[in-house]
Amino acid sequence: MMIRLSARFAHSLLSLLAILCFGCGPNSTAKLSYDSLGLTEVTGVVRLDGEPLEGATVSMVPEGSFSGSFGTTDASGKYRLMYTSEKSGVTPGVKIVRVSTADKGAESAPGKERVPSKYNSKSTMKVVVPANSSLEWNIELDSSNGKVNAPEVIKEDR
C-alpha cells in the first residue's frame, strides 16, 4: 500500500511540474492585441500665443476617467499621443483634451504652469476620436483671454 501511494504522489507531482513548466513557455503567454481597441493615431502641434509650446503634456481622456492617452510636445510644439509607453494611439469616443506645462513629477522644483487652467485642470475642450483612423489635431492657445482655437470635431445634438 505504501508503494502505491508514493507512485500516485510521484505521478501527480510529475504531472503538475509538466503543466507548470510547459504551460509557461514563450508560446503560451497571452499576447495583447491592440487591434480590437480601434486605436487612432493622434498627432498635432500646440501653440501658446502663436509660439510652439515645448515640453507640454497633451492628454485625451474619456469623461469621468483619469486614464487615457498622453504625449509631450517637442521644441516645435509637435506631439504624438501614446496609449501605452510602447503603443501610440487613442481609443475611439468623446475625449476631454488637456494641455499642461506643470512638471508634477519634480518634487524639488515643480515647473510653473504656463497654460491657463481652462485648458488643463478645468478643460472644456472635447474631441470625438474616430476608430481605426488618424487625426491631426492642432491646438492654438491664447493666454491673454483664455481663448482656444482648435478644430471643431465634436458634434453634439441638443
Q: What is the mean pLDDT of residues 142-151?
A: 64
Spatial separation of the C-alpha atoms in residues 40 and 130, rounded to whole Å? 7
Q: Cα 77 vs. chain centroid, distance in angstroms?
A: 18
What is the per-residue pLDDT across 43-95, written as a single tens digit (0 to 9) for each?
999 999 999 999 999 999 998 887 899 999 999 999 999 999 999 999 999 99
Domains of the chain and any CATH numbers: 37-149 (2.60.40.10)
Contact criterion met (CB below 8 Å) for 59 and 98: yes
Q: Determine the pLDDT at residue 58.
A: 96
Q: Which residue has the cell 492585441?
A: 33
Q: Determine the pLDDT at residue 145.
A: 66
Residue with more model confidence, 154 or 75: 75
Binned at pLDDT 50, 70 and 90, residue 29 comes out as very low
Three-state SS annotation for 58-127: EEEEECCCCCCEEEECCCCCEEECECCCCCECECCEEEEEEEECCCCCCCCCCCCCCCCHHHCCCCCCEE
Backbone conformation region of residue 143, classed left if phi is above 0, alpha if psi is from -120 to 50, else beta:
alpha
What is the per-residue pLDDT across 106-142, written as a single tens digit (0 to 9) for each?
454 456 888 988 888 889 899 999 999 999 999 999 8
Spatial separation of the C-alpha atoms in residues 36 and 132, rounded to whole Å? 10
